[in-house]
Structure 1
C-alpha cells in the first residue's frame, strides 16, 4: 500500500492538475452599486493631489501694507476736508475774515459764517446767519452763500450785503450781479444799486436812490450822509450805537445833513451833527437817551 506522500510525488509533473483557491467574502448588506462606489472613491483618494498652501512673499506683504496706509490716508483726508471752519461774532462785535480764495467777509454783530476745509477744492460754498458784507473775488467756481433756511445767493465776483435772521431776508448789491434762489420762488437777478427783500414769501425787487444806497457803517467805519434828513441820520446813529435819540422843538424830517463822520465815541459823532446843524443835546443819567433841541 502506497502512502499518500508517495502518491503525491508520483502524480507531480508537467501535467498535474491546477490548484484552486477559494476566497471567502463575509456577508454584507451593500448592493453591488454601493460596493463599486466605495472602490472608486478609494482609488480616487489615492491619486488626489495634496492641498496647495499659498504663502505671500515679502514684497506682497509690503504692497498690502502700503495699500492699507493709502486707504487710511484717503479716509482721513476726506474726514478732515469735510470738517468746517466757523467764525462768530457776539453782540456789539464785528469781524473781518479773508477766505482761502482771497474773498473777504465782514460779519456784523451776533452773526456767524462757516465753510468746509475743502473750500476752493470742490467749489466755493459758505453758510451764514445774521448779517454779512461780502467782497467776492472772481474765480472759475461760483460763490454760493446759503443761510439756515437753504436760501441761496449765487455770484461770480461782486460786493453785496446780506441780512438773514429768522424770517428776515434782505440783500443789497453794490458791485456786479447776484442771483437769489429760494425754493418755491422764481429766482431773481440783482444788479448794482438794486436790492431784494422777502416779504410774506414773496421777493420784492427794487432799485434804491443813491442817498439810501450806502455801504453799512460797520463795514466802512464811517457814516456817509448825502442830503439825508436828520430823522434818517438819527435813525442810523441810534441803530449803530443801540441808543435812543429824541428831538424837541423842531421837525427832524424837514432838516437835511450832508457829510462823512468817522465812527468812534457816540458823543464825538453827535457833536459833529449838533455843531453843523446849530443844535444842542442832553444825555440822560445812564447814557441811553440823547435829546436834541
Structure 2
C-alpha cells in the first residue's frame, strides 16, 4: 500500500478519478508518460477510490472518542461475561487483531495487483505512436515535424519521432546524418538521440552525423546546444561555429571549429572534396549516388582529391577525377568499376 499512498492522498488525483475533465486527463496522461513505471499504482489507486466502499453510519464526536478509546485503551476483563458469548475474534488479544488487519490489507494489495496486471499489458493508458522517415543510398529528404521544426535527412539515414509532441520534451531518434532547424519553444526542449549522444536545444540549427556506431559529430550553426555522452555521462555546451566529435571506441570527445560550407553542402546539393583520401571519396560517392564501386589495381597512398560539384551526374565527376588522378572507370547500372594501373 505505501507505493500508492501518495496517489490516494493527492487531491488532484482524487478529483481526476471522481470528476475527470479534458485538462485533468491531459495532465495525468503527461504525468504517466514521464512515470510509466507507476501505471500499475495508478490503476490500483483508481480502483480503490472508485470501488472499495465500506458502509458506515454518521457518528458524532462522542461516538468517535468512544471508538478511539476502545481501540487504544488496555483490554479489561468484562464482568460476569459468559464464556459461551465470546467468539474467536473476542479471544484474540489487541496485538493479534492489529496483526490480522495488517495481513488482510497486504493480501488485498497482492490480489488487486495480480488482478490488474494483465490490464497494464493489454490496455496501457498511455501509448506513444511513432513515425519513422528513412532515405536509401542516393536519396535525400526534407520534411517538417509536428512542432514546425524542419529536418533534412542525408542518404541512408532515418529519423523516428512521435505523431505529436505531447510530453514536456520534444524527443526524436536519429540514425545517420540529419540537419535540424528547430522551432523555438522554451517550455519544451528539443532532444535528438543517437547511439552515443543526446543533443538538447531550445531553438537553433545544427547538423548531426553518425557515420558509424563508433563515430559521431554535432556541428552547431546557430543558437546553443547541450550534448551528453550517454555512456560516460560527460556534458558539453557548444557555441555557433563549434563541432563536437565523439569516438565511442576511445571514449574521447574533441571540440573544434568547422568549415560551415562543408557541413551545409550535402543539403544544398553540393559535393565537396578537400584533400580527401580515396576511401572517403569512394564511400561518399556510393552513398550520394546509391552505387557500388569496385576497385582494382593499387590505389596510391598519397591519393588525395579536391573539387566541388553542384548537382552533377556521377559520370561528370568520374571524368574529372580520372583525368587528374589517373584511373579508368566503367559504369554499369548501379555498379562502377575503377581500375588503377
1:84 to 129, 134, 150: 129
Q: Quickly say closer, same or farther: Cα 1:255–1:105, change in 2 above 3 A.
A: closer
1:172 to 195, 205, 218: 218
| Residue in structure 1 matched with residue 321 of structure 2 by the alignment | 273
Q: TM-score, normalised by structure 1?
A: 0.57
CA deviation map 1:11-48 (0-9, x unaligned): xxxxxxxxxxxxxxxxxxxxxxxxxxxxxxxxxxxxxx
Q: CA deviation at 1:229?
A: 5.6
| Residue in structure 2 matched with residue 152 of structure 1 by the alignment | 198
Cα distance in 2 for residues equivalent to 1:278 and 1:148: 37
Counting only pairs closer than 5 Å after superposition, residues 229-244 of structure 1 correspond to structure 2 as 232-240=280-288, 241-244=290-293
Counting only pairs closer than 5 Å after superposition, residues 1-293 of structure 1 correspond to structure 2 as 70=21, 74=25, 83-89=128-134, 91-92=136-137, 93-108=139-154, 109-119=156-166, 122-140=168-186, 141-147=188-194, 151-156=197-202, 157-163=204-210, 167-176=213-222, 177-183=224-230, 184-191=232-239, 192-200=241-249, 202-207=251-256, 210=259, 214-215=262-263, 218-226=266-274, 228=276, 232-240=280-288, 241-244=290-293, 246=295, 251=300, 253-254=302-303, 256-264=305-313, 266-275=314-323, 277=324, 279=326, 281-283=328-330, 287-291=335-339
RMSD across aligned C-alpha pairs, in angstroms? 4.1
Cα distance in 1 for residues equivalent to 2:126 and 2:163: 7
The structure with more strand, counted as a fraction of residues: 1
Q: Quickly say closer, same or farther: Cα 1:72–1:202, change in 2 above 3 A.
A: closer
Q: CA deviation at 1:154?
A: 0.9
CA deviation map 1:112-137 (0-9, x unaligned): 32125135x73422233343222223
Q: TM-score, normalised by structure 2?
A: 0.51
Larger radius of gyration: 1
Cα distance in 1 for residues equivalent to 2:168 and 2:177: 25
Q: Structure 2: where are the runs of 5+ without partners?
A: 1-17, 31-124
Q: Secondary structure at the match of 1:253?
A: coil
Q: Secondary structure at the match of 2:191?
A: strand
Cα distance in 2 for residues equivalent to 1:267 and 1:90: 23
List 4+ stretches of structure 1 deviating above 6 A: none
Q: Quickly say closer, same or farther: Cα 1:285–1:94, change in 2 above 3 A.
A: closer
Cα distance in 2 for residues equivalent to 1:231 and 1:164: 14
Q: Secondary structure at the match of 1:267?
A: helix
Q: Secondary structure at the match of 1:207?
A: strand
CA deviation map 1:57-78 (0-9, x unaligned): xxxxxxxxxx989469947x95
CA contact (8 A) 1:274 1:280 kept: yes
Report 1 or 2 for greater relative contact order, CA contacts < 8 Å, sequence distance ≥ 6.
2
Q: Secondary structure at the match of 2:302?
A: helix
